[in-house]
Structures are given as C-alpha cells and as structure tokens.
Amino acid sequence: MKLLRYGAPGEERPGLLDEGGVLRDLSGQVDDIAGDALSPAGLARLAALDPAGLPVVEGNPRIGPAVARPGKFLCVGLNYADHARETGKEPPAEPVLFSKAVTALCGPNDDVEIPRGSDRTDWEVELGVIIGTRAKYIDEAQALDHVAGYALVNDVSERRFQSERGGQWVKGKSHDTFGPVGPWLVTRDEIADVQALDLWLDVDGQRRQTGNTATMIFGVAHLVSYISQFMTLEPGDIIATGTPPGVGLGMTPPTFLSAGQVVTLGITGLGEQRQTMVQA
C-alpha cells in the first residue's frame, strides 16, 4: 500500500493511493497515519479494504509528511563510504546517530527555508524507515518485522551550523522544513529488497546524487537493531539512513543552495519530491 496524508499544514487527513494512482480518503477508517494504524494489525485492516469503496479526493491537494506526530526523527551519518570520504571523513566503525527536531518535518513538495545567516544549506537524498511496532533490544533477524514501511527523505542540512557552531550536528539539521518526508509511506511488503533501491537528486535539473542502497555500510536491518540497543523505537518514529555521494559540501568548490533554486529527488518505488528554496 501507499499511505499518505493530504491537506493544509496542521489539517492533514489520511489517504491511500490506489493502483490506478487515484487518491482515496481514509479518514473514515483511521484518525491518521500514525500509532496503531502502523502496526501489523492496523496495516492488515487497511490492506483488506476495497479501495474502490473509499471516497475519491478531488482536485490536487497539498501532500503532507507521510507520517504524523513521530516521537523521534533519527538520522544515520556517513552511512555510504564514498560520501564519508567526500566530506573528509573515514567510514565509521559503528553507525553515527543524530537527531533532527520533529519540527523540521514537512511535506515532500513544500518550500524549504534557507535559515537566516545561512550560506551552506545542502541537500541529501535518503531512504527513510518508518517504525511500525515497538522495538527494544531486538536482534537483526527480527528487525524488519518492526518496520511499517519506507519513505523518501531529504535530509536538508546547514553545514556551517552543523560543523562550526559547536556541539552536536542537530543545530545544522533541524531548521523548520529541513525534513521533507514522502510523498508516501510504502508498506514493507511492497519493497522486495530494501537494499537494492536506486536514489537520485537534481538541483535545477542538474544531477547531483546517484546511488543505491546496496552500498550502505550498515543496512536497514542492522540499523534498526543497533538503534534499539540504545533507545526504544516507537510506531511512527522515522530513521533516515544516510546519503550517497554528491552533496554540495563534497563538490569542488563546495556548492550550496540559494533562494529560488529547485531540488528534485526520488527513490525506486517511493516516489519523488520537489522543493523550491526560499529565504526564511
């Protein structure tokens, strides 16, 4: 299934994209794409519905973040060896974890703000993992059983805030709109091999990133298990799993985003995003 949320910011309703690409309203079935709706039982109940019997959503509404009210928005840094090296770092021996503020969450096609005082706003196409059931101290063999599905993420970053303003990376990762997620949450059963997905990102029509999840240092199952050793993962939590090479920081010379530029990105089976940069 392709589950999504549509409507004005803060007023999104749950929806389903049927096999014909028609948006159907799910608000009579679930409160939102969150919590129990993401559990195996909740997803099975939605999968049993006949999409033809659901109301059609007319027009072309805004698409919101694919999941509502995540408790945690976690990210994995330097998870592609060639990306680590383009930033001047060696591939890590263990996953590098950091957080984005949940207030960074936004829709896949919303405008992205360049923060005040920013001169190094950068792009990062990433596979997002959406947790479906509580996970604590789980083995790698069990890890994917706790995943509801996957979504496209742009881990927008401000590199000077990230690396030159002291402390952890969270300051460079958490500005409002720095977390576009969607357009859909694609349930796990629709992705035959999560470690075989192509990723790409363009800036103003110029290809900047090309990669495949096969080249991750730490795969999805390992990441979910690993993170569960340090904190409990809850339904709706988002894990952005790292980016392939081609970010602005790694270009010669380094190249960053400015107001008016357009970023487009996609992952096999998970749809596409389009964001226009605006000044905050």
- 3.30.450.20, 3.90.850.10, 3.20.20.140, 3.30.70.100: which CATH number matches 64-279? 3.90.850.10
The bridge status of strand 262-267 relative to strand 147-154 is unpaired
* DSSP 3-state of 2: strand
Cβ atoms within 10 Å, residue 128:
27
- CA contacts within 13 A on the Cβ side of 175: 25
pLDDT in tens, 150-194: 999 999 999 999 988 887 899 999 999 999 999 999 999 999 999
pLDDT in tens, 220-271: 999 999 999 999 999 999 999 999 999 999 999 999 999 999 999 999 999 9
Q: pTM, whole model, 2 decimals?
A: 0.96
- Does residue 87 register a pLDDT over 80? no
Q: What percent of the chain has pLDDT over 90?
A: 92
